[in-house]
Chain A
């Protein structure tokens, strides 16, 4: 067996030289001081490869136009097997790369590893950092939800502020400050066509430079014999990679990545916020107002990048032990505190979005289309614990038929008496549940599974107060008062709640009666109404 393997190896070596090249790569000498602090470069490279992989996977099911991007991403999240995992890996991978790349830079900076002759390695690294940020910026738009759209509006307007070059930058990004189909196409092209090969080339160059100059030695390495890169340092790198991957995988599974409502350029109340790693820039921007805005938006970040590039030329002394590089340590600490302070300030000053309802659009939202009465049936179904026997799609009990798999074949009278016998619901509630279960379809089964509790309870309050004797929801009810679909677009949350409590005050002459419900109920009811689709079917 071993002989065969060696034979194959020799054959390959003769024909391609690859085994020799790999050996040459792995058995490189590294300084005796090499160790755990140098794993970040390998981890960053690994994470980039994971991004390439998951990005390609997502592209297999993603339609890159504003008309379809959102729907295809929803399709990936709700219907494609393991689609949510792929998107989670790609989303969290992007954040993790930023973290790891910054850690890598901090390590190189603290150890002074950028000093002669490694200036070019450092500068290529700075460009790679900028490319990483460019991925984040362009990828942010691609889900085409409200968050993506409004975040990008801000970005492109900042680009337009650049002195002299602003108008060209803005034109390159596909429109004079407006975000539309052209901007989308360009962001997508940048994200998948331009950036990946550019990154690969620069990583190749970066690694080549690292190999050309060798891993930077520390002062303590003088007179100590060198070590081999493989297997000891590769082992440490692998542990680092595995730890990063484990964190990434857990994040992708455990933390649901939000998908908000479809991008709505007419939504004037949306408060855009950038991704967390841009928050400090965003906060810096707020420190400058009026004509000085350009300083925060363009000048300061520009100077920061320039300084970063020139670090090897600003610090040209002898290489010292890392513990003696007090200035470098102070700069890193100062930078970290500044970054943390600005980011915290940005998080703290983010207003709670009063208008929007936390609806998870990445889960099926068929429940939004149900009539209020049908939605109350969902509430009673849960209240009576029907699902402790009748699981839905495998969730819940299994001692009776799963409605998602077995259609209900009994007649209405049988269902009603069955519900009556097996629950403590009153006659009216039994009627509603029986009626609902008797005509289950895909949409209502999905609602049983996915309708949020606020919707179910909100509908109960809606029905209990006979709102439908004046109002229409999803095409059901009277039209004495206004149709309630799209209410979120027309009124603020506080207005609606105030209107329940004292309608005359807010709309003099209205026939809307006063509803002195408990605050919690008013809140639930309003949340339910606000979650209804604009065009109810």
Chain B
């Protein structure tokens, strides 16, 4: 370009310049989006969990006494990233009828202490802050904010199978049907 430019060339130059700058910003934005959006998905969108929690056999229901909670221990596999860990876990199991069983997660819903069954008081008692739960898991006293968590249960013949541990969402949730959320088989 010469130093002295006719008016039309000046405007042609500035149009050209605007086009260049527009293209630079446009293409760089496109590249950033093409890298950034998948990266966000990579970090934030949970992947497909290939191995769902299996049903775990924990015992024979004929050995349980009606309305007497017992703590059953079992091992379950937990998927942690690329690893599957085998962990020991327990459940407080109550047989409510010959075909119905309720299984509670072993931790108090207040701060996660291990609670136990008090036969004389006919309730579950947490030793940490004296939360008390009835045999159907409802809060009777103490600071616990919600009923005991429950495992999905399934009865296959006389074998008791436990599934996922579910948090009771409603603070006032009462006794659900013991086989709620479970498949009949």
Question: Interface on A for B, CB 8 Å cutoff?
Answer: 50, 53, 57, 60-61, 63, 68, 71-72, 74-75, 78-83, 85-86, 89, 225, 231-232, 234-235, 238-239, 241-242, 245, 249, 364, 407, 409, 442, 446
Contacts and interface: CB of A to CB of B under 8 A. Distances in A.
Nearest to A234: B24
Contacts of B23: 235, 238-239
Nearest to B185: A409
Given A86-B39, A86-B42, A442-B50, 13 more contacts: A50-B35, A57-B39, A60-B43, A81-B45, A232-B20, A235-B20, A235-B23, A238-B27, A242-B27, A242-B31, A249-B34, A407-B183, A442-B52
Nearest to B46: A81
Given A63-B82, A71-B83, A235-B20, A364 B50 contact: yes
A249 B24 CA distance: 19
B149 to A, nearest CB: 24
Interface string B32-63: 00110011011101111111100000000000
Interface SS of chain A: helix
Contacts of A86: 38-39, 42
Residue among B21, B51, B82 with the highest chain A CB neighbour number at 10 A: B82
Contact of B24 (A53, A71, A85, A231): A231
A530 to B, nearest CB: 25
A442 B21 CA distance: 53
A79 B52 contact: no
A72 B41 contact: no
Interface in B65-89: 81-83
Contact of A241 (B31, B38, B39, B83): B31
A63 B48 CA distance: 20
Nearest to A227: B1
B151 to A, nearest CB: 18
Interface of B: 1, 17, 20-21, 23-24, 27-28, 30-31, 34-35, 38-39, 41-43, 45-52, 81-83, 183
Contact of B41 (A50, A79, A82): A82
Given A232-B20, A238-B24, A242-B30, A53 B35 contact: yes
21 contacts: A50-B35, A57-B43, A63-B82, A75-B81, A81-B45, A81-B47, A82-B38, A82-B39, A82-B45, A85-B42, A231-B20, A231-B21, A235-B20, A235-B23, A238-B28, A242-B27, A242-B30, A242-B31, A245-B31, A245-B34, A442-B52
Contacts of B51: 442
A60 B44 CA distance: 12
Contacts of B1: 225
Contacts of A61: 81
B158 to A, nearest CB: 20
A207 B21 CA distance: 23
A83 B42 contact: yes
B34 A239 contact: no
Contacts of A78: 50
B49 to A, nearest CB: 7
Contacts of B35: 50, 53, 89
Nearest to B36: A53
A22 B28 CA distance: 17
Residue among B17, B21, B42, B51 with the highest chain A CB neighbour number at 10 A: B42
Contacts of A80: 42, 47
A106 to B, nearest CB: 25
B181 to A, nearest CB: 13
B42 A79 contact: no
Contacts of B41: 81-82
Nearest to B37: A82
Nearest to A53: B35
Contacts of B20: 231-232, 234-235
B81 A241 contact: no
Contacts of B45: 81-82
A250 B183 CA distance: 45
A249 B35 CA distance: 9
A53 B34 CA distance: 13
Nearest to A32: B1
Residue among A50, A74, A85 with the highest chain B CB neighbour number at 10 A: A85
Contacts of A235: 20-21, 23-24
A264 B134 CA distance: 57
A72 B83 CA distance: 8
Given A50-B35, A238-B28, A239-B27, A72 B82 contact: yes
Which 4 A-B residue pairs are closest in the complex by CB-CB distance? A75-B82, A235-B20, A231-B20, A79-B47
Residue among A60, A81, A364, A409 with the highest chain B CB neighbour number at 10 A: A81
A446 B50 contact: yes
A243 to B, nearest CB: 10
B124 to A, nearest CB: 33
A238 B81 CA distance: 39
Contact of A72 (B24, B43, B81, B183): B81
Nearest to A441: B54
A95 B50 CA distance: 32
B80 to A, nearest CB: 10
A517 B180 CA distance: 54
Nearest to A49: B35
B34 A79 contact: no
Contacts of B31: 241-242, 245
Given A71-B83, A234-B24, A245-B31, A85 B43 contact: no
B82 A68 contact: yes
Nearest to B81: A75
